[in-house]
Amino acid sequence: MAEPLLRLTGLRKHYGGLAVTDGVSLDVRPGEIHAVIGPNGAGKTTLIHEITGVVLPDSGRIDFAGRDITRLSLPRRARAGLARSFQITSIVAGFSALENVALAAQARDGSSFRFFRPAASERALNDAAMAALGEVGLGDRAAVPAGALSHGEKRALELAIALATQPRLLLLDEPLAGAGPEETERLVALLTRLKARYTILLVEHDMQAVFALADRISVLVYGRVIATGSVAEIRGNAEVRAAYLGEDDA
Amino acid sequence: MTTQLLLVQALNGLQLGILLFLVAAGLTLVFGVMDFINLAHGVQYMLGAYLGASLAAATGSFWWGLLLALPAALLAGLLLEVLVFRHLYVRDHLSQVLATFGVILFLNQGVKLVWGAAPLESPIPALLEGGVEIMPGLQYPLYRIAVLGAGIVTAGGLWWLVERTRAGMLVRAGATNAPMVSALGIDINRLFTMVFAFGAMLAGFAGVLAGPIFSVEPGMGDNVLILAFVVIVIGGIGSIRGAFIAALLVGLIDTLGKSLMPDLMRLFLDASSARQTGAALASMLVYVAMAAILAFRPAGLFPVRA
Amino acid sequence: MIRRNWLPLAVLAALALAPVAGFASSYETTLMARIMILAMAAVSLSFLVGGAGLASLGHAAAVGVGAYAVVVLDAQGVTEAAIVLPVAIVAAALFSLLTGAIAIRTSGVHFIMITLAFGQMAFFTASSLSAYGGDDGYTLYSRTEVAGARLLENRLAFHYIVLGALALTWAVCAMLLASRFGRVLRAARENAQRVEAIGLAPYPFRLTAYVIAGAIAGVAGVLLANATEFVSPAILSWQRSGELLFMVILGGIGRLWGAMLGAVVFVLLETWLAEITPHWRMIFGPLLVIAVLTMRNGLSGLVHRRHG
CA distances in angstroms from A47 to A12, A41, A82, listed in the order given: 9, 11, 15
d(CA C43, CA C47): 6
Tell me whether C183 touches chain A (CB under 8 Å). yes
Q: C117 and B91: CB-CB below 8 Å?
A: no
The amino acid at residue A12 is R
Angle at which helices B3-34 and B188-210 pack, to 10 degrees? 160
Q: Closest Cα to residue B227, out of B278, B299, B275, B289?
A: B289
Helix (H) or strand (E) holding A226: strand A224-230
Q: Which residue among C102, C114, C285 places its CB closest to the CB of B102?
A: C285
Mutate to test the interface with B, among C240, C289, C294, C297 (most CBs of B within 10 A): C289
Q: Can you give the pLDDT at residue B241?
A: 87
> Is C in contact with A (3 or more beta carbon pairs below 8 Å)?
yes
In the 8-state DSSP scheme, what is residue A109? S
Mutate to test the interface with A, among C175, C180, C206 (most CBs of A within 10 A): C180
User: What mean pLDDT value characterizes chain C?
Assistant: 91
Q: Can you give the pLDDT at residue B306?
A: 43
Evaluate if residue A249 carries a pLDDT over 50.
no
3-state secondary structure A26-75: EEECCCCEEEEECCCCCCHHHHHHHHHCCCCCCEEEEEECCEECCCCCHH
Q: Environment class of residue C58 by beta-carbon count within 10 Å: exposed (0-12), middle (13-18) or buried (19+)?
A: buried
What confidence category does residue C170 fall into, taking pLDDT thresholds of 50, 70 and 90? very high
Q: Can you give the pLDDT at residue C168?
A: 97
At C57, give phi and psi (nearest 5°).
-110, 30
d(CA C124, CA C135): 9
Q: Is B250 a member of any domain? A: no
Average pLDDT over residues C190-195: 94
A81/chain C closest Cα distance in angstroms: 9
B266/chain C closest Cα distance in angstroms: 17
d(CA C90, CA C100): 15
Tens of pLDDT, residues C71-130: 999 999 999 999 999 999 999 999 999 999 989 988 888 898 889 889 988 998 898 888
Q: C287 and B102: CB-CB below 8 Å?
A: yes
Tens of pLDDT, residues A178-222: 888 888 998 999 999 988 889 999 999 888 899 999 999 999 988
User: What mean pLDDT value characterizes chain A?
Assistant: 90
Neighbours of C195 (CB within 10 A): 29
Each of the 306 residues of chain B gets a pLDDT tens digit; together they read 578 888 888 999 999 999 999 999 988 888 877 788 889 999 999 999 999 999 998 998 889 999 999 999 999 999 999 898 888 888 888 889 899 999 999 999 999 999 988 888 888 888 888 888 877 778 888 899 999 999 999 989 988 888 888 888 877 777 667 677 777 777 777 888 888 888 999 999 999 999 888 889 888 888 899 899 999 989 988 888 899 999 999 999 999 988 888 888 888 878 777 777 787 788 888 888 888 888 788 788 888 754
Q: Closest Cα to residue B148, out of B301, B10, B2?
A: B10
- Per-residue DSSP letters for chain C? -TTTTHHHHHHHHHHHHTTTTT--SHHHHHHHHHHHHHHHHHHHHHIIIIII----S-HHHHHHHHHHHHHHHHHTT--BHHHHHHHHHHHHHHHHHHHHHHHTTS-HHHHHHHHHHHHHHHHHHHHT-GGGTGGG-EE-SSPPBBTTB-GGGSHHHHHHHHHHHHHHHHHHHHHHHHBHHHHHHHHHHH-HHHHHHTT--HHHHHHHHHHHHHHHHHHHHHHHHHHHTEE-GGGGSHHHHHHHHHHHHHH-TT-HHHHHHHHHHHHHHHHHHHHH-TTTHHHHHHHHHHHHHH-SSHHHHHHHHHT-
Q: Can you give the pLDDT at residue A250?
A: 40
Q: Is B231 a member of any domain? A: no
Chain B contacts in chain C segment 81-140 (CB below 8 A): 102, 105-106, 108-110, 112-114, 116-118, 120-121, 124-125, 127-131
CA nearest to C253 within chain B: B94
Q: Closest Cα to residue B277, out of B293, B292, B264?
A: B264
Evaluate if residue A110 carries a pLDDT over 90.
no
Containing structural domain, residue B96:
3-217
d(CA C40, CA C46): 10
Tens of pLDDT, residues C245-282: 999 988 888 889 899 999 999 999 999 999 998 888 89
Q: Can you give the pLDDT at residue A124?
A: 94
Contacts of A76 by beta carbon, 8 Å cutoff, 6+ apart:
A53, A69, C199
Q: Are A93 and C190 in contact (CB under 8 A)?
A: yes
Q: What is the pTM of this model?
A: 0.91
Q: B287 and C108: CB-CB below 8 Å?
A: no
Q: In terms of DSSP bridges, do strands A82-85 and B131-135 run parallel, antiparallel, or are they unpaired?
A: unpaired
Evaluate if residue C178 carries a pLDDT over 50.
yes
In the 8-state DSSP scheme, what is residue A141? G
Q: Residue B67 half-sphere exposure, CB side, CA atoms within 13 Å?
A: 7
Contacts of A178 by beta carbon, 8 Å cutoff, 6+ apart:
A151
Contacts of B255 by beta carbon, 8 Å cutoff, 6+ apart:
B9, B10, B12, B13, B16
What is the interface size between A and C, counted as CB pairs within 8 Å? 94
At A11, give phi and psi (nearest 5°).
-70, 125
Tell me whether C208 touches chain A (CB under 8 Å). yes
Evaluate if residue C1 carries a pLDDT over 60.
no
Q: Is B80 a member of any domain? A: yes
Q: Environment class of residue C28 by beta-carbon count within 10 Å: exposed (0-12), middle (13-18) or buried (19+)?
A: middle
Q: Give SS3 for A229.
A: strand
What confidence category does residue A245 fall into, taking pLDDT thresholds of 50, 70 and 90? low
d(CA A217, CA A176): 17
User: Domain total for chain B?
Assistant: 1
Q: Is B293 a member of any domain? A: no
Q: Which residues of C touch A116 (CB under 8 A)?
A: 175, 179
Q: Closest Cα to residue C171, out of C54, C12, C297?
A: C12
Q: C110 and B84: CB-CB below 8 Å?
A: no
At B135, give phi and psi (nearest 5°).
-145, 155
Neighbours of A51 (CB within 10 A): 27
Contacts of B16 by beta carbon, 8 Å cutoff, 6+ apart:
B251, B254, B255
Q: Are C198 and A104 in contact (CB under 8 A)?
A: yes
Q: Are B140 and B134 in contact (CB under 8 A)?
A: yes
What is the interface size between B and C, counted as CB pairs within 8 Å? 133
Share of chain A above pLDDT 70, in %: 97
Tens of pLDDT, residues C195-211: 999 999 999 999 999 99
Q: Environment class of residue B78 by beta-carbon count within 10 Å: exposed (0-12), middle (13-18) or buried (19+)?
A: middle
Q: Which residues of A touch C197 (CB under 8 A)?
A: 52, 74, 78, 83-84, 86, 90
What confidence category does residue C216 fall into, taking pLDDT thresholds of 50, 70 and 90? very high
Q: Give SS3 for B20.
A: helix
Chain B contacts in chain C segment 212-231 (CB below 8 A): none
Q: Can you give the pLDDT at residue C107?
A: 81
CA distances in angstroms from C242 to B24, B224, C255, listed in the order given: 21, 17, 19
Contacts of C121 by beta carbon, 8 Å cutoff, 6+ apart:
B283, B284, B286, B287, B288, C61
Q: Can you give the pLDDT at residue C308?
A: 35
Q: Which residue among A95, A116, A117 places its CB closest to the CB of C187?
A: A95
- Per-residue DSSP letters for B240-271? HHHHHHHHHHHHHHHHHHHHHHHHHHTTTS-H
d(CA C6, CA A33): 54
C186/chain A closest Cα distance in angstroms: 9
Evaluate if residue A248 carries a pLDDT over 50.
no
What domains appear along chain A, each with residue ranges and CATH number?
1-81+167-250 (3.40.50.300), 91-166 (no CATH)
Q: Is B85 a member of any domain? A: yes
Q: ipTM above 0.95? A: no
Q: Closest Cα to residue C176, out of C165, C184, C166?
A: C184
d(CA B95, CA C64): 25
Residues paired with residue A170 on neighbouring β-strands, in sequence order: A83, A200
d(CA C222, CA C88): 7
Contacts of A137 by beta carbon, 8 Å cutoff, 6+ apart:
A156, A186, A190
d(CA B36, CA B77): 14
CA nearest to B227 within chain C: C117
Evaluate if residue A106 carries a pLDDT over 90.
yes
Q: Which residues of C touch A75 (CB under 8 A)?
A: 196, 199-201
Q: A161 and C201: CB-CB below 8 Å?
A: no
Q: Is B51 a member of any domain? A: yes
